[in-house]
Structure formats: structure tokens, C-alpha cells
């Protein structure tokens, strides 16, 4: 089915002439155009051309325009003569092929000037804050699956909306792509616009998470998602013990799910919070063997899950969130065949329990004895029980017990992530006497609980 296209062109009095030129060009093609901004603009008189006036600021203009969009794909087009509309077909192609939810232009300009260098610097900061790999995330020519763009809550009124769009699309785990766009000249961007973007990026990097601090505990999950080396370490530990048909309990935003997925026949990602399930659906769109499943552990349809012929259940820092962990483990035993495995990572050492544990909803931290008891007392035999992450203890103690923070500072986490490969190598060769986590593998025994 052909997907319809809409253009949103925010404008100011200074850019109204370029906005008008784009609108006349697009109107002649029969494309829906929404012009939104402040001041008069010469718009073609066509049923599919809409003008929203009296809107001060780019963010306010875009928000208002999105309410009028009817196309399946939305192109956000800066009103700047440096851009060519001919690039838009290439921008939309990955969306039409369902390979991306948002596509950003990567600008190729004849000569770099001070403004372009400032844009490149802001691009580096954007990549740091969002962990996206886009070369030019603040380009003024972008295409979106309309449903995806409308799903993010935009709050910025000014030019900082460009940074906010990237932050929030990446946070909701939409698939972002880029294609090169050639410009005849360098786009003009006032210094005030650059400063507004920088302020927004710094706010999201420091005091505000990309859910606008409306979902406590999400900050820690989101920051952990950016710890690529640490997550690769955990993913490797889990993958070594997986079967082919896996149930992950408490998938969160899919950080570990993504590490488990390659090569599996089936991966059911159970998550109790719709806030996270929506992100899982975005992240794994187009991969039917990964099935996000919205449910509480206690209320899941365990008979249906048993019919999926699962051979492995994975819990990565999840068992501690379940009030009755023993009852949950008994349910796991009921749906696994004899010899089926449960692979568990849990926070260790009750002495470390503090404000971050409270913020993310932990009920407990385990000792080797308490973890073994909950597994072996409910239908499993423990094969492996090991300490992990000795070096994480001091940082967690200072942040959670001494400083009473509610999340792990982003910079600290990034520094720690740099040394994670060294820690992984060291811990693979030495049996640790203690650690801030416990890793366990247990097999289902003949007596179901």
C-alpha cells in the first residue's frame, strides 16, 4: 500500500519567503503541506495546504502542525534555501521499506564555516546524550513515520525542539537512520538557536531524563542502556547458558533483550509496565521472533506460556523486584521441562541496599545462601552460583548509601563502562570472594512445585 506524505514547514518572518517557495513547489505535486509560524506567508490556495499563524517559536509551530498532519510519513523541512526538496524521496525510502521510523539527512556542504562547525560540535554532544550513532542528528531535513513522531511528547517552544526530537525518539527506541543530502550552501542558524539546543541537551544530560522525570527508575534503566561494554559482558554471560526458546522476565527497555535475541527461535519479553512495553515494540519492530508481552508475573497466562515449549527463563536484575520471589520461581518451574534452565542475575549484599534500590523498586539484595534457598526450595537445582562485579561495590555504596542519590550519575557510568571489558576478562580468570551481583544457573528438577 502506498504511504501518503505530509510536509511540515515551520517559518519565521525572516524565512517566510523560503517557506512559501517550498509550499508552492509541493502544492503543485498534490502533497499535503502545513506551514506554521509567525508572520505573513504567501501560501498557495489549495485544499491540502494549511497555514497556522501566530505561533512564536519552532517547537510551538511543530506541535501545532502535527495536529493537522494526515499523511503516513511526515517530513520536517526547515525553511532554508540551502535545502533541496529533491532529497526527500531518499529520506522517505527507508520508512516506506519499514527499515526505519525516522530518517535524518546528513548534510554535505561545499565549505564548512563557523556555523557548520558549531552544528558539528552540537552533533557530538547529541550523540553523547542520546547514544545514537547519527552523524548529523540536528539536520533541518528529516522524515518520520507519522505515528512515531506524534507519539513523543514535545515540550520545547523554540529551536531546541530539534534536540528534543532526537532525545525522545531515541529514548523510545525507535529505529533511526540517515541518508546523505547535498546542499548548495550552508544553512543559516542564529547563535540563539544553537544556544537553545545546547541548553536542552545539557538539561537532558544532567537533571532531566527523556521521559521528563515523570517515571522514577527509568533514569537508571536508560543510563544503563548506554553502558555498552557492561551490557555486552552481561549478554555474553547469559548467552552461554541459553537454549533456543527463551522467556525473559522483566525486559525493561530491552537492554539485555537485544543481547539475547541473535540466533534464538523465540524470545518472549515479559514486562509489567506499558511504558516499557511500548519501547520494546518499537525496538523490535520487524523481528517477529521477539514478542513483547505486557503482564505482571503473578497475572501472566502461564498455561499459554507453557505451550510455547520454552527451555530457558532469564531474569537480569528482576527477581529482586518481585515481592514473593519464591512463588515466582515455583511458576517458572511449572512451565519448564525437566532440565530446563533459569538463568538469574541479582543484586547482592544487603549492606548495599540504599536510595537507588528504592528508586528502581528493589525489595531486597541477595546473599549466596538466600538465592540458593529460593531456587532450590522451589523446584530447581543450582549448577552455577558466582559473584560478579567486585569493582562496582564502592561506586554503588557511595551513590546509594552515602550520597542518597536516586540514580547512577551518567558520567560515572560512562567511565565505569570504559573499564568493563578489563573487569570481564579479569573475572573470567579469577574466582571472586565477593561482588555487587550474583549470577546463577539452575536446572528444573523432576519434582514440579
Q: pLDDT tens across 92-112, in order?
A: 999 999 999 999 999 887 666
Q: Is 220 left (phi over 0), alpha (psi -120 to 50) or beta?
A: alpha
User: Which has the closest alpha carbon to 276: 290, 298, 255, 297?
Assistant: 255
For residue 80, give the C-alpha cell. Answer: 532554508
The reported pLDDT for the residue numbered 251 is 92
* pLDDT beyond 80 at 126: yes
Name the percent of the chain lying above pLDDT 90. Answer: 57
The residues that bridge with 444 in the sheet, in sequence order, are 380
The reported pLDDT for the residue numbered 290 is 96
H or E segment to which residue 209 belongs: none
What SS3 class is residue 106?
Answer: strand
What angle do helix axes 218-225 and 228-239 make, rounded to 10 degrees? Answer: 80
Place 305 in a pLDDT band, splitting at 50, 70 and 90: very high
The reported pLDDT for the residue numbered 223 is 60
Rg (CA), the chain: 25
For all residues of the chain together, what is the average pLDDT? Answer: 88
Mean pLDDT, range 430-437, rounded to an integer: 90
| Highest mean pLDDT pick, 137-141, 169-173, 209-213 | 137-141
What distance in Å separates the CA atoms of residue 90 and residue 103, rounded to the nearest whole number?
A: 9
Cα–Cα distances in Å, from 254 out to 22, 135, 171?
A: 40, 24, 11
* pLDDT beyond 80 at 227: no
* pLDDT beyond 90 at 294: yes
What distance in Å separates the CA atoms of residue 144 and residue 177, rounded to the nearest whole number?
A: 10
Q: Are 346 and 366 in contact (CB under 8 A)?
A: yes
What SS3 class is residue 271?
Answer: strand
Amino acid at each position: 500500500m502506498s504511504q501518503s506524505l505530509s510536509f511540515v514547514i515551520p517559518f519565521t518572518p525572516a524565512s517566510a519567503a523560503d517557506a512559501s517557495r517550498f509550499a508552492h513547489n509541493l502544492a503543485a505535486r498534490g502533497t499535503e503541506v502545513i506551514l506554521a509560524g509567525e508572520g505573513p506567508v504567501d501560501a498557495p490556495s489549495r485544499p491540502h495546504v494549511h497555514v497556522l499563524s501566530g505561533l512564536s517559536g519552532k517547537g510551538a509551530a511543530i506541535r501545532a502542525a502535527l495536529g493537522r498532519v494526515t499523511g503516513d510519513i511526515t517530513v520536517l523541512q526547515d525553511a532554508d534555501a540551502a535545502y533541496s526538496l529533491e532529497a526527500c524521496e531518499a529520506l522517505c525510502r527507508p520508512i516506506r521499506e519499514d527499515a526505519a521510523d525516522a530518517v535524518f539527512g546528513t548534510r554535505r556542504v561545499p565549505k564548512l564555516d563557523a556555523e557548520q562547525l558549531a552544528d558539528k560540535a552540537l552533533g557530538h554532544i547529541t550523540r553523547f546524550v542520546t547514544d545514537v550513532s547519527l552523524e548529523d542528528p540536528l539536520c533541518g531535513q528529516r522524515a518520520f513515520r507519522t505515528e512515531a513522531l506524534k507519539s513523543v511528547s514535545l515540550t520545547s517552544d523554540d529551536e531546541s525542539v530539534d534536540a528534543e526530537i532526537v532525545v525522545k525518539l531515541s529514548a523510545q527506541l525507535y529505529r533511526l537512520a540517515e541518508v546523505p543530502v547535498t546542499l548548495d550552501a550552508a544553512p543559516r542558524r542564529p547563535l540563539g538557536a544553537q544556544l537553545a539546543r545546547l541548553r536542552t541537551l545539557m538539561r537532558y544530560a544532567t537533571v532531566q531524563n527523556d521521559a521528563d522525570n515523570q517515571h522514577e527508575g527509568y533514569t537508571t534503566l536508560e543510563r544503563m542502556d548506554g553502558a555498552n561494554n557492561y551490557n555486552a559482558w552481561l549478554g555474553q554471560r547469559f548467552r552461554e547458558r541459553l537454549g533456543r526458546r527463551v522467556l525473559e522476565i522483566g525486559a525493561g527497555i530491552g537492554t539485555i533483550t537485544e543481547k539475547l535475541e541473535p540466533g534464538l527461535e523465540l524470545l518472549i519479553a515479559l514486562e509489567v509496565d506499558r511504558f516499557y512495553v511500548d519501547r520494546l515494540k518499537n525496538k523490535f519492530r520487524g523481528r517477529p521472533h521477539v514478542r513483547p508481552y505486557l503482564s505482571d508475573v503473578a497475572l501472566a497466562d502461564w498455561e499459554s506460556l507453557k505451550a510455547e515449549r520454552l527451555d530457558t527463563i532469564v531474569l537480569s536484575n528482576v527477581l529482586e523486584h518481585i515481592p514473593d520471589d519464591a512463588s515466582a520461581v515455583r511458576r517458572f518451574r511449572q512451565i519448564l521441562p525437566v532440565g530446563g534452565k533459569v538463568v538469574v542475575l541479582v543484586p547482592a549484599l544487603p549492606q548495599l541496599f540504599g536510595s537507588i534500590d528504592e528508586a528502581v523498586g528493589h525489595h531486597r539484595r541477595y546473599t549466596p545462601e538466600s538465592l540458593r534457598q529460593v531456587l532450590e526450595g522451589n523446584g530447581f537445582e543450582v549448577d552455577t552460583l558466582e559473584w560478579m562485579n567486585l569493582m562496582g561495590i564502592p561506586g554503588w555504596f557511595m551513590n546509594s548509601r552515602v550520597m542518597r542519590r536516586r540514580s547512577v550519575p551518567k558520567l560515572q557510568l560512562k567511565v565505569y563502562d570504559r573499564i568493563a571489558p578489563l573487569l570481564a576478562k579479569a573475572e573470567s580468570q579469577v574466582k571472586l570472594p565477593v561482588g555487587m551481583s550474583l549470577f546463577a544457573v539452575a536446572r528444573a528438577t523432576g519434582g514440579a512445585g
